[in-house]
Amino acid sequence: MKLSSALVERTLTQLDAQAIPDNHPVIPQLNSLFGDHTFFLDGNGLKIIEPAAADDGAQKGHVVKIAGWQDADRTSLVPHEPEATEVVIVLEELGSDGAA
């Protein structure tokens, strides 16, 4: 899932990670491996956001780990099968009419 700048900022308030900028030289390679996503990097590896079912009307996304660090020095990543995490990001709240 590709996120807008506003949604990246909202995600970063809920996820302790860094977003890899779209203009970073590694983005074309990541896109060819994993598809067109916004990529987040943290101490555990590389993550993306996938749409999640919203039972309360808010738009949400699941954090999915797609690569882990090869070594303790965190110098390179090793792709693996997507691993869903328990982290769910609230991307957009309910409408601005005050309903919750």
Q: pLDDT tens digits, residue range 26-80?
A: 999 999 999 999 999 999 999 999 998 877 778 899 999 999 999 989 989 999 9
Answer for the pair 44, 65: CB distance below 8 angstroms, yes or no.
Answer: yes
Neighbours of 48 (CB within 10 A): 22
* b/e burial code for range 25-43 (CB count within 10 A of at least 16 → b): eebeebeeebeebbbbbee
DSSP code at position 39: -
Q: pLDDT tens digits, residue range 5-18?
A: 999 999 999 999 99
How large is the greatest C-alpha to C-alpha distance in the chain, in angstroms?
Answer: 49
pTM for the model stands at 0.88
Answer for the pair 23, 2: CB distance below 8 angstroms, yes or no.
Answer: no
